[in-house]
Amino acid sequence: MEINLGHSAVTKEIYLDNAATTKVYPSVCEKMVEVMSKDYGNPSSLHMKGFTAEQHVKEARKTIASVLKVDEKEIVFTSGGTESNNMAIIGAAMANKRRGKHLITTTIEHASVYNPFIWLEEQGFEVTYLPVDHHGVVSLEALEKALREDTILVSVMAVNNEIGTVQPLDEIGALIKKKSPEILFHVDAIQGFGKIEIYPAKLGVDLMSVSGHKLHGPKGIGFLYIRNKVKVRPLILGGGQQKDMRSGTENVPGIAGLGEAVRKVFENFSEKQEQLYSLREQFVTRLERMDGVQVNGFAHRVSDVNLHQGAAPHVVSVSFENIRAEVLLHALEERGIYVSSGSACSSNHPAISGTLKAIGTEKKYLDATIRFSLCYDTTEGELNTCCEVLEALLPMLRRFTRGGRK
């Protein structure tokens, strides 16, 4: 069905909510079907079916370790990003509490990081929440002041899921290890892995969380990188799979699919990343020409090496003056364009963004912000169409609002 909006027409769906989830690659689906229908053995079984299933797990672990330039033994498969974050934060805190009970994180973390810290506070830990600047970059000065002799863990996300800001992980890691090599550094890389280069050993990262469905893999699978000799208390106890770190029969189809997704994403990675940055730049430039539009975080890619290019290549947070986010979201949806009004992971009932508050966003924009998120399959034509639809919609929706009908 073709929907006409003056000079603009949409004939197919345009999916710009890739920070919420991504479409699974066809080769990932094929790999998973192969495992489920042919190589369906339990990887703990001693017969050939079990051996074949175990080989799929080993192959995925090898692929991931190769991309990260780490040891295969340092990869633990989980059910996804939330479990990985909980395992890293709660597991590390509980395993190392004899050294101290002081923890550090930021004011713009995802709920799967923030809520474990709230729980740990209830268990007697002390948590320092670091501020960020108007771009969403963590204050290095505040971090340096916050580090103490009894600090045992610092957790900072690589890429903010709402505004796309990339944190200076190298400087954060250096500050932490300068204070004490024993302080653990956890990175929530769920929005960053597959979009920016992250090498844990180089950055001083001890723990790193990743989710499969953010990079064209299946839902319900992820992994946690745990640096060798780092103490983490397991959250799931049972049969002792994955060297007692995460008991339970491995999700072999999901693990195999994740391995295939990682392999495919990192093929010609630099070229794909540059192409995505180029598309984002064109998109933001056109958005900024529209009246009453504000891009949050870093609008453009920056060259300051300390800020790692400032913005991730796939997330664009945009506030629209005098238009409620939910109204605009559904108006775009009616025209075949799918976006988000914020993080899709915490609830399907939108709330005011803590990230937008933390970066000092004006009150009038807090309920007027849309997140557009791209992937490597996003096309210039799709973004141009999105802009054309916005150019037609915005004046109409603002007239509607000024008329007093909301």
Catalytic sites, residue numbers: 345
Q: What's the CA angle centered on 15, arms 12 and 21, to 5 degrees?
A: 145
Structure tokens at 302: 């920056």
Structure tokens at 383: 């973004």
Q: Which amino acid is at 333?
A: E
| Cα torsion angle, 312, 313, 314, 319, sign | positive
Q: Which amino acid is at 311?
A: A
3-class SS of residue 204: coil
User: What is the rounded CA–CA span in Å between residue 234 and residue 244?
Assistant: 7
In this structure, what is the dihedral angle of CA atoms 254, 251, 161, 184, given to the nearest 10 degrees? Answer: -130
3-class SS of residue 215: coil
Give the CA distances from residue 42 to residues 49, 78, 96, 236, in Å, rounded to whole numbers and listed in that order.
7, 17, 34, 19
Q: What's the CA angle centered on 331, arms 327 and 333, to 5 degrees?
A: 115
Which residues have a Cβ under 8 Å from the Cβ of 118 and sit 6 or more positions away?
Answer: none
User: What is the rounded CA–CA span in Å between residue 60 and residue 326?
Assistant: 39
Longest dimension (CA), the chain: 72
User: What is the rounded CA–CA span in Å between residue 135 and residue 369?
Assistant: 15
Question: Do the beta carbons of residue 190 and residue 198 sit within 8 Å?
Answer: no
Question: Do the beta carbons of residue 355 and residue 371 sit within 8 Å?
Answer: no
Candidates 257, 178, 171; CA nearest to 211 is: 257
User: What is the rounded CA–CA span in Å between residue 43 and residue 255?
Assistant: 12
Determine how many CB atoms are found less than 10 A away from the CB of residue 298.
23
3-class SS of residue 175: helix
| Mode of pairing for the β-strands spanning 293-296 and 315-320 | antiparallel
Phi then psi for residue 320, to 5 deg, are -120, 115
